[in-house]
Amino acid sequence: MQKTIVVTGGSKGIGRAILERFARAGWRLVTCARSAEDLDALRADLEQQFPDAEVQALPADLSKPNEARRFVDFVLGLGGPVDVLVNNAGSFIPGRLQDDAADGSTLRDMLAVNLLSAYDVTRGLLPQLLQQEAAHIFTICSTASLIPYPNGGSYGVAKFALYGMTKNLREELKLTPIRVTAVLPGATYTASWEGAGLPPERFIKAEDVADAVFGTWSLSPQAVVEELLIRPQLGDI
C-alpha cells in the first residue's frame, strides 16, 4: 500500500523540500498552507516533477483552532493510515521580549503559529495514529529551541515550548509503535532569510534537512532518532 506523509506548512522551505523527498520515494503527499495560490503553485510543480504523485492540499491557517480542526478532518477524510506527520508550520517575528506589543499579542501569536498549531494537529490525528501498526511524528523545532538568540524574543519562547512538547510526546509514546523526533535545524536557506545579505553557502540547504528526515524515518522500527540537530558547517548565524 502506498504510504502517506502529512506536512503542515508545505508550500515553501523545509516543508516543501520534505514533500519533494518523499514524493521521490513514491509517497502520497498531504499538506496545507495559508495561501491557496502558493498551494496551487506547489501542486503544479510537484505534479510536473513527479507525474505519478498524488498531492492533496488544503488552504488553512493552523494558528486558528477551527482551521487546524478542519485540516485534521481533511486528512482523516482521505482514508488510510498517516505513516509520517511533519509539524512544520511556523513563522518568525524578530525582536526582544521587552519590545513586544503591550497587549502581549506578539507572544500569543508566536505560540499560536509555532506551538499550538502542532499541538492541535498532533492531538487531532493521534487517536488514528495509535490504532495503526506504526507511525512517525517529526516536529520541526530549531536551534532556537536549545539556546536563546539576540532578538529571538517570543519566537524563541515558542520554539522552546515546541521542543518541550515534542520531548513529552516522545516519553508518552515510548510503549507504542509511534516514533517521535525533534528536528532542530540551524539557519536554513529559506524565505525567512531573504535580504540577510549572506551567501547561500553560509546556510543549511532545506534539501539536507529533508534527506535527514527521510533517513531517520528509514531506520528499523526498534530504533528512533529522538533529536536531529543540524547546523551550518561554520556554526550558528
Predicted model pTM = 0.95
* Domains recognised in the chain with CATH numbers: 4-230 (3.40.50.720)
CA atoms of 174 and 220, how far apart (whole Å) = 15
Say yes or no to pLDDT of 196 above 90: no
Q: What is the pLDDT of residues 61-102, one digit of tens each?
A: 999 999 999 999 999 999 999 999 999 999 988 889 888 899
Q: What percent of the chain has a predicted confidence (pLDDT) above 90?
A: 85
